[in-house]
Amino acid sequence: MTITPEQRITLHGFNNLTKSLSFNMYDICYTKTKEEREAYIEYIDEQYNSDRLTAILKNVSDIIGAHVLNVAQQDYVPQGASVTVLISEGPIVEVPTESYAESPGPLPESVVIQLDKSHITVHTYPEYHPDEGISTFRADIDVSTCGEISPLKALHYLTHSFDTDIMTIDYRVRGFTRDTNGHKLFIDHDIASIQNYIPDEVRSQYDMIDVNVYQENIFHTKCKLKQFDLDNYLFGYTKESLSEKEQQNISTRLKIEMDEIYYGKNMT
């Protein structure tokens, strides 16, 4: 099925397709001591507390044109936070042509797009290696929508909202809707890759792999930062304070950690 930006599908009743976007990001840090690890986790908890996460999800709601019905947020002890936003259809002025195009969505601004009842959630997971060498922060964001607009339009903003070393992104369209002739439509927009919804300047910074099941409308993309600067992974000091051997050892450990997350398996 090919839909041009000028075309719209005339449906029989409501668009019953469910579109789900899962965005997972990882931030990795080397924490040499218990004190460094605790300071890093405290920093992460402050940077990504429930208030800031709520603001991010409300911006996502604005981008996809949703109206926030209810917000539930929680900061956990000793660390972590979660937010759930229940959303409903926002004011409908007109369906933008870009809703059918494979292109990055906007950053937060005045955007009005059709959306029906659904939800957005975020959960954070700070954790550390038992030998206190590596600390990892993960945030999971899920955007589920019903109707014409794809939550992929929020991906551009999400990539700007977090400092990410690794990203894994899943998108799936479920269910079906019918046109006026009763013909089932299992997807209402063309998509070749999630990568097409990520701006070129962001794509150029990452190695990317796609694993897509087109006949099932399932799409998966994972991304790993290309450039490695050890200073970006040290907390509270710079590599100049380390010997060359220490720099090499720490860099190797960090790169192994990133590869294990990226490829989804333990490495020796």
What CATH number is given to the structural domain containing 129?
A: 3.60.90.10
State yes or no: is 135 an active-site residue. no
Inside any domain, residue 67:
yes
Residue from 118, 135, 144, 150 carrying the catalytic annotation: 118
What is the pLDDT, as a whole number, of residue 220? 97
Per-residue model confidence (pLDDT) at position 6:
37
Domain annotation covers residue 94 = no
The answer to whether position 97 is within a domain reads: no
Answer whether residue 216 is part of any domain: yes
Report which of 186, 170, 131 is spatially closest to residue 25, judged by C-alpha positions. Answer: 170
Which parts of the chain have pLDDT scores under 50?
1, 3-7, 91-98, 106-116
Write down the pLDDT at residue 149.
66
Per-residue confidence (pLDDT) for residue 201, from 0 to 100: 92
Q: Is residue 103 part of a domain?
A: no
How confident is the model at residue 29, as a pLDDT?
93
In-domain check, residue 5: no
CA angle (209, 215, 219) in 5-degree steps? 30
Answer whether residue 3 is part of any domain.
no
Which contiguous run of DSSP H or E holds residue 159? helix 155-161
* pLDDT of 38: 86
236: in domain: yes
Query: What is the per-residue burial (b if ≥16 Cβ within 10 Å, else e) of 198-231?
Result: beeebeeebebeeebeeeebebbbbbbbeeeebe
Q: 204 an active-site residue?
A: no
What CA–CA distances, in Å, run from 49 to 45, 83, 94, 126?
Answer: 5, 10, 35, 12
Contact 100, 119 (CB under 8 A): no
- Report the pLDDT value the prediction gives residue 112, as an integer from 0 to 100: 33
Tell me how many domains the chain contains.
Answer: 1
Among 135, 146, 150, 161, the active-site one is 146
The catalytic residue among 123, 129, 193, 251 is 123
For 63, the domain range is 12-89+113-263
In tens, the pLDDT along 181-212 reads 888 889 888 899 999 999 999 999 999 999 99
Is 22 catalytic? The answer is no
